[in-house]
Amino acid sequence: MLRACTRVGGAGAGGCGRRERLMASLIPFLPPSPYSTHLPRQPQSQPPTAATQPAAAARPSRFRLLFARAAAQRQRDSEPAPAAEERRSLAVRTGELFLGLAALLLRGTGAERSGGAAVEEMEARDGVVWEQRPQDVDAERRRRELTSPGFSFSAAGLLFPYHLGAAQCLMDRGYITETTPLAGSSAGAIICAVIASGNTMQDALQVTKVLADNCRSKGTAFRLGAVLKDVLVEFLPDDLHIRCNGRIRVAITQLSWRPRALLVDQFDSKEDVINAVITSSFIPGYLAPRPATFFRNRLGIDGGLTLFMPPTSAAETVRICAFPASRLGLQDIGISPDCNPENRASPRQLFNWALEPAADETLDKLYELGYLDAAVWAEQNYAELIAKNDQSLVAD
């Protein structure tokens, strides 16, 4: 720079003086820098002349604009992230990973459209393993001739109160009786066992709140399975297996060289039923710190991975989904938040509540929403139910 100035003589010296004065005038507007303390401020030895004043005044204005924009961007970058970017817990991240893989598998196999199919159709197409004793085959064939619908409950995680509310409404309206065929995976399998046990849905809701309070205070991930098993052992009756045999179907994903759906509807003991529903709910690393669990000496994980809503033994199966079915790409769903879309929680909120326990007030609200959605479905299908019941009476 000095050589260039001396080469043009006095005019060059004047140009260098203008640059120095320009840099000195811009220093107050420069963004903070760790090296700014090493930049000396040059004193103005003489005021700018009339000839140089317009150019000197024009240049700082452009620089001021650029630095103002940079300062505004720094301020925006320093603002806190919106609520949607808040850190998610380990439980939510683990559950999201597993459910994301499950969604890919369901879409890849078309399983989301096969939940209402008969077991024989699913065996031929998807290779479903259906465990039955030879003496139960004839009884199963007779059960399929039932005219009243069976009900299949979806995987739902900790949105369990939604299924409780829907079940209570269906009982109040006469759709679910002591002989109605039921099926479910994950939380849906648990609700089937609860209904068959004879306990009230309100009692089950109170037990759900106890479980949720335990998880809120001590954590959910890696320990939910043990807490859930203790709750079920205490809450369900000793003759549970007798009440469930032939009536409920529990969906499990059996792990071998590829995941396969396993349907179980015969149980040897209360412990056998509880082990089935725990396996049906087993999200790896979420219910326990291991990649899978054992059911009848076979590796298994969450049944929702292969059978999100398994078929019942009835001639017709009505499927109940705790999530907005349209957002999941599910078809032919009878009861879901789509039945009554007003005043709803967002899909993100529902997903978070499915993986981490919500407050007791929210659990009560989920119960109410399940009841209201089932009521909407019942009002739309009341005439059909009456017609089927009349046909059944004539046949008898």
Catalytic residues: 186, 302
Q: How far apart are CA 149 and CA 6, in angstroms?
A: 99
Range list of β-strands (E), 244-316: 248-254, 260-264, 293-295, 298-301
The runs of H, that is alpha helices, within 127-182 are 134-143, 160-172
Looking at residue 211, its amino acid is L
* Amino acid occupying residue 280: S
Give the integer Cα–Cα distance in Å for 162 and 14. 81
Torsion of CA 372, 326, 353, 317, to 10 degrees: 60
For residue 31, give the amino acid letter: P
**CA dist., res. 152 & res. 46, Å (int):** 89
**CA 65 to the chain's CA centroid:** 47
Asked whether 98 and 286 are in contact (CB, 8 A), the reply is yes
Asked whether 157 and 95 are in contact (CB, 8 A), the reply is yes
Whether the Cβ atoms of residue 309 and residue 154 lie closer than 8 Å to each other: yes
CA distance 182 to 49: 94
